[in-house]
Amino acid sequence: MEKIAKIAGVSKAAVSFALNDKPGISQATRNQILKIAEELNYVPRRKIKKDTIVFLLVTNDHAQSLDYFQRLPFFQSIIDAFKTKSYLKGYNLSLQTVSKLDQDTFSNWQQTNIYGVVILGTFLTSDDVLLLNKVHANIVILDNPSIENSHSSVVINNKEGVRSIIHQISPKETVLYVHGLPAIPNFQERNTAFKYSAQTKDFNLTEIKMDSFSFSETTTSEQQLIINTLQNNTTIVAENDYLALKIAQIVAEKKLTHNVKALFGFDNIRTLSQSPIPIKTVSVNVSVMVDMAIDLILKEYKVPVHVTVDTNFVEGDKNEK
């Protein structure tokens, strides 16, 4: 506006009158100002409707592309839900990926047509969360249970999910708990909750780590670890469904299915029907998570609001309750 005033040789107030269609200046001045504004491609801030919600996927080291996320059923269903819900609420969805969060990422969000940004936080590190805490923007962090998060957030209720699984297992049972290496906040929260809740049941508990990343192929040594640890009449609890599916495949291949009393996973990855052993799991309603995330963007509360969505218990390849 300052630039227009300078070129037209009028006051900023006169430019404001012209652009906002208010009286107080001559028609000639008004026409001149509007012409200059048009030449400068000036669009008055108030006239740009905030019509776009950004859904930002932060890939970090674990993944490289949108394509990677779309091959994983949980993320694919999140992306689909975002597309549907933003359309239904009358907003455009801008799907973006970055390999690393930094200051450049945030500068793009100053565009006046952006209502807010939902960040898929599954792979965010604690450094990423600290960085985000310093950013002033309408942000909702999805799927990251960091407690010190100073933006609004929407997460699965890992603690309730773990309690729901442990509720299915009798005291004193032989339990093999399998978790993966990666520092994914959801997985860490589950692991802590499992150790805490398992104490109340006095399980005959063995715990093993699978060295390779949960989503990748198992190594021979990992397969051997499962086989060596598996006792008769064992209930296996896996930190996530990807691990549960791998364990099922290993156990079936080595013909040790008779040793498994039950196999529990976490997150319904919706490929459980492929499993050679029935997997019981807890599943979160992705549609509810995405609905809440978009609503929090649109509400623009002045205070962070944290939403935790409970899970449903799912047996075998049955549908959700």
Where do the H-state alpha helices sit in 134-204?
158-166, 185-198
Smallest separation (angstroms) from its own copies to the CB of 150:
8
CB count in 10 Å sphere of residue 171:
8
- Specify the residue, 76 or 308, whose C-beta has the smaller distance to its own copies: 308
Q: Which amino acid is at 6?
A: K
Q: Which two tokens mark 122?
A: 């599954």
- Specify the residue, 47 or 321, whose C-beta has the smaller distance to its own copies: 321
How distant, in Å, are the alpha carbons of 1, 120, 178, 217, 251 from that of 257? 73, 37, 17, 20, 6
Smallest separation (angstroms) from its own copies to the CB of 257:
32
Q: What mask, x for binding its own copies by CB under 8 A, covers residues 161 to 190?
A: --x---------------------------
- Specify the residue, 153 or 191, whose C-beta has the smaller distance to its own copies: 153
- Specify the residue, 241 or 291, whose C-beta has the smaller distance to its own copies: 291
Smallest separation (angstroms) from its own copies to the CB of 168:
16
Rule CB under 8 A: is residue 270 a binding residue for its own copies?
no
**Which secondary structure element, helix H or strand E, spans residue 310, and what is its range?**
none
Window contacting its own copies (CB under 8 A); options: 8-16, 49-57, 175-183, 298-306: 298-306
Q: At what angle do helices 241-253 and 220-229 cross, to 10 degrees?
A: 80
CB count in 10 Å sphere of residue 2:
8
Q: What mask, x for binding its own copies by CB under 8 A, covers residues 121 to 160?
A: --------------------------xx-x------x-xx
Compute the distance between CA of residue 37 and CA of residue 189 in angstroms, rounded to an integer.
54
Rule CB under 8 A: is residue 299 a binding residue for its own copies?
yes
Window contacting its own copies (CB under 8 A); options: 108-116, 238-246, 253-261, 301-309: 301-309
Rule CB under 8 A: is residue 77 a binding residue for its own copies?
no
Rule CB under 8 A: is residue 312 a binding residue for its own copies?
yes
Compute the distance between CA of residue 81 and CA of residue 73 in angstroms, rounded to an integer.
12
Rule CB under 8 A: is residue 318 a binding residue for its own copies?
no
Q: Which two tokens mark 246?
A: 């791998």
* Total residues found in the chain within this entry: 321
Q: What DSSP state is assigned to residue 47? A: G
Binding interface with its own copies (CB under 8 A): 147-148, 150, 157, 159-160, 163, 285, 288, 291-292, 295, 299, 301-312, 321
